[in-house]
Amino acid sequence: MLYHLYEAQRALIEPFSQFAAVAARLYATPTSPLAQTPFSQRLAAAYDLFHRLGKEYEKPEFGIHTVDIEGVPVAIHERVEIDKPFCQLRRFKRYADDPALLLRLKHQPVVLIVAPLSGHHATLLRDTVRTMLRDHKVYITDWKNARMVPLEQGEFHLDDYVHYVQEFIRHLQGKYGHCHVMSVCQPTVPVLAAVSLMASRGEKTPLSMTMMGGPIDARRSPTAVNNLATHRSYEWFENNLIYRVPAGFPGEGRRVYPGFLQHAGFIAMNPNRHLKSHYDYFKHLVQGDNESAEAHRKFYDEYNAVLDMDAPYYLETIRIVFQEFRLVQGTWDVRAPDGRLERVRPQDIRGVGLLTVEGELDDISGSGQTRAAHDLCTSLEPHLRRHFEVEGAGHYGIFSGRRWREKVYPVVRDFIRQHQPPAAGPDEAMVHEAELLAAAIERAPAPAAEPGGGARRRVREA
């Protein structure tokens, strides 16, 4: 019922929000007669703020069209490689018209970034993806909003999350021969389970695992997020946070943990900070500080865009990860697609590089929670392990922003390189073929429209 009331309220507010957007432009446009009054700037700012507080935030785009590699702007084309009921595997394909650069791109490591399914969209890792593209072939899990998934697609469980990760790993291994896996926050647990089960079966495992700010052992340095899970019963979460999707969406009737409740929880963690941020935004508009105002818009366009999570997945995560700690207790059984139960045994992982990254000031995954992966992967030799604590970084700082780009990324990049097998050097035939292709494209007329925007002439990355 709460979900239905929320949608009714949103439908009621939406026209007023749109009116506020029009009014803000009327009072802010210099040529408008309404913009000539002394208070026009303040009125425009007030209407703009009301519009942003009342509008619905859709899923943002990644918007990565070019990346600078070795001083050359390389075009990026985003495409869906695998489309599953609850997730898409997206690739960010790079294009270059320099044969030498093309060959270097060809032999760079393949990385699967597993994005969190914990409220926000995968676009929250936009900065992570953009930075990784400098030196890697990048794929990412783009989780779907559960309210957009029809009921006939079935439920989504934590076991399904593990299966998805395994399927994506096998796909990349089949395509390239090997891959690396990078998990950010919540997926550190299912990714470790996925690789553990592959190792137990004797399957080929990724070359390395990079785990960043995740609740491998949520008992260590518990945060407000951990305390909520342990101080409330499983039944409390099921009775108070799970609702059915109302009419008007493809997933009508599906039981979900609604995005608007998750967003309310995010805000409740730091209400004063968000209140101050919105007031600062109002002042920036009044002062004509467009750069600061645009930075605010970009942040909250991402932060306010949330998705619904399928109820079985969310409740199982609460119970298995945050209440019963089955991974670290050695009691977690995952149901295979054929119905068999398989015990998750991280101690079976061998020959895989393990890098764990934590933020010194992380208030979501406390100190030591991610590092616990080393205690579970007991068969890994010392030279395959590394832990890195990012001084002065909070949760988001370890995968986005200046600290990520300047401190964390060099460590991640070098660790992946360390565990990447030597590539066979390009032979003369390959070089000659690339040169002929580049020359042919040079002579060809420029196409009217190109994927991803960017450089006019391109050679496809092999």
Q: Residue 209's domain is classified under what CATH number?
A: 3.40.50.1820
Tell me whether residue 426 is in a domain: no
Residue 457 resides in a domain = no
246-272: pLDDT as tens digits: 999 999 999 999 999 988 887 887 889
Please report whether residue 449 resides in a domain. Answer: no
Residues 292, 161 share a domain: no
pLDDT of residue 453: 45
Do 126 and 39 lie in one domain? The reply is no
Is the same domain home to 110 and 179?
Answer: yes
> Does residue 137 sit in the same domain as residue 150?
yes
Is 211 part of a structural domain of the chain?
A: yes
Give the C-alpha separation, 273 to 299, whole Å.
Answer: 13
Token pair in block for residue 221: 């340095």
Kindly state whether residues 199 and 294 are assigned to the same domain: no
- How confident is the model at residue 71, as a pLDDT? 87
State how far the alpha carbon of 327 is from the alpha carbons of 157, 187, 208, 363, 372, in Å. 16, 13, 20, 22, 11
Output the pTM of the full model: 0.88
Chain centre distance of CA 375: 26
Same-domain check for residues 79 and 143: yes
Output the pLDDT for position 41: 87
- Residue 375: domain span: 66-241+308-418
Residue 254 belongs to a domain:
no
Say if residue 235 is in the same domain as residue 364.
yes
- What CA dihedral angle connects 198, 316, 313 and 82, to 10 degrees? 0
Residue 460 pLDDT class (50, 70, 90 cuts): low
Average pLDDT over residues 211-217: 97
Contact 131, 113 (CB under 8 A): no
**Model confidence at 451: pLDDT above 50:** no
Query: Which residues are within 8 A (CB) of 192 and not within 5 positions of it... i.e. 6 or more apart?
Result: 183, 209, 211, 216, 327, 344, 346, 373, 376
The residues, ordered by sequence, that sit 6+ positions from 416 with a Cβ below 8 Å of its Cβ are 109, 111, 136, 180, 207, 208, 210, 353
Task: Flag the least confident range among 261-270, 289-298, 396-405.
Answer: 261-270
pLDDT value, residue 263: 84
User: What's the chain's average pLDDT?
Assistant: 89
* Residues 187 and 299 grouped into a single domain: no
Asked whether residue 157 is domain-assigned, the answer is yes
Pair (220, 184) in one structural domain: yes
How would residue 152 be classed by pLDDT, with cut points 50, 70 and 90?
very high
**What's the pLDDT at 30?**
80
Instruction: Answer with the one of 401, 418, 435 that is the final residue of a domain.
Output: 418
Q: How many domains does the chain have?
A: 2
In a shared domain, residues 90 and 6: no
What is the structure's pLDDT at 151? 97
Per-residue pLDDT tens over the stretch 361-385 = 998 999 999 999 999 999 999 999 9
Identify whether 169 is part of a domain: yes
Inside any domain, residue 437: no
